Amino acid sequence: MGIDTDFGRAFSKSQMSCNVKFPLSGNVFISVKNKDKRAIIFIAKKLADLGFRIYATKGTGSVLQKSGLEVITVRKVIEGRPNIADHINNGEIDLIINTPAGKGPRSDDFEIRRAAINHNILCITTISGALAAVNGIEALHKGEITVKSIQEYHALK
């Protein structure tokens, strides 16, 4: 059950119950639509502070670099090889944040999600989902998740 003393821990528990595992380190790929570029900066900075290395497409990467983050720029699928799908297929990516912007069944977003599914990599497609996941990862970094009864949580109030 997703209940705990703070949102990050509660969200982590809710995702564990669905068999979703947050990576605690490694490489995160970030590619967001233009509308989400400002919002992703805070999330990317938190991930970098938690020790993640950031991979991004040219547009997203430029925004993150201007905000002082180190970014490894990778090609979109349509830009040739090696591209982000190759990095995912090679096991180099541990977390994906990709807010869909493409149209049609063979857009980059489709290829990224397909590769993520094939390799069991968590793929987050909204800014609010990315923020919740980062809160969950941060909570897991702070300590282990404990279990209490509902009565114990109500006694804390």
Please report the domains of the chain, with CATH numbers, ordered by start residue. 23-130 (3.40.50.1380)
Which burial class, exposed, middle or buried, applies to 117 when counting CB atoms under 10 A from its CB (0-12, 13-18, 19+)? Answer: exposed
Q: Are 3 and 150 in contact (CB under 8 A)?
A: yes
pLDDT for res 93: 98
Mean pLDDT of 75-87: 94
Q: Are 71 and 65 in contact (CB under 8 A)?
A: yes
Q: Are 100 and 129 in contact (CB under 8 A)?
A: no
**Measured distance CA(139)–CA(6) in Å, rounded:** 9
Amino acid at residue number 1: M
Q: Would you say residue 157 has pLDDT above 70?
A: no
Residues near 75 by Cβ (< 8 Å), separated by ≥ 6?
57, 81, 82, 83, 84
pTM: 0.88
